[in-house]
Amino acid sequence: MCTSILTAAGRDVQLKWHKLRRHTPDPAMQRVNLHAGLEAAAVMEVDLRLTRDGQFVCLHDEPLDGETTGVGPVSEQTANDLRSLRMRDPAGRATDERLLFFDEIVETTERLAAPGAEVQLDLKEPAEAMNDKLLEPLAGQLARSSGSFSLSGTDVATAVSGTDAADDVFVQRAAQRGE
């Protein structure tokens, strides 16, 4: 049962936890909020940025400086480079929270998600950065996952249109839903 419901004009409206924030002062992309949201059947949003070696990491901004203890652009770092960094809280203080990666979100969603839980993946990459080589791992993990995911982003329609990997995952997910 989702605890994040607002009733408006006689209809239930499910609220989304932006950047996995349950409350405004929460630091972004915290595992504790991912776990709580999945167990409460909440709708949560995470931002995905691409590393130099083609891994997706949960960060809103391209510069590491504001959200993490790192410096420089996400796209110039490997996933391994980012694993030693820590997230910052809204006041800019370093926390003990390591960066969250897409594969961990998929695994955690499969393990903890209550019926109705959903994770919105907000793809922050520009369309020109997306191709089958980069989308295949994302599409493959989503196709194998029993979790509920949605994909969004400024350039997401352009980024995934016409890519074989995206076509495959959307066809597979529609088939799983009986469409």
| Residue 1 falls inside a structural domain | no
63 beta partners: 73
DSSP bridge partners of 13? 6
> What percentage of the chain exceeds 90 in pLDDT?
47
Cα distance between residue 105 and residue 86, in whole Å: 17
Counting the structural domains of the chain, the total is: 1
Whole-structure pTM value: 0.81
> Which DSSP helix (H) or strand (E) runs through 154?
none
Q: At residue 65, does pLDDT exceed 50?
A: yes
Q: Is 5 within the bounds of a domain?
A: no
- Domain of residue 82, CATH code: 3.20.20.190
147 part of a folded domain: yes
Query: Quick check: 85 pLDDT over 70?
Result: yes
Q: Is residue 44 part of a domain?
A: yes
Residue 8 placed within a domain = no
Residue-wise pLDDT for 98-153, tens only, equals 999 999 999 999 899 999 899 998 888 877 777 777 777 777 888 777 678 888 87
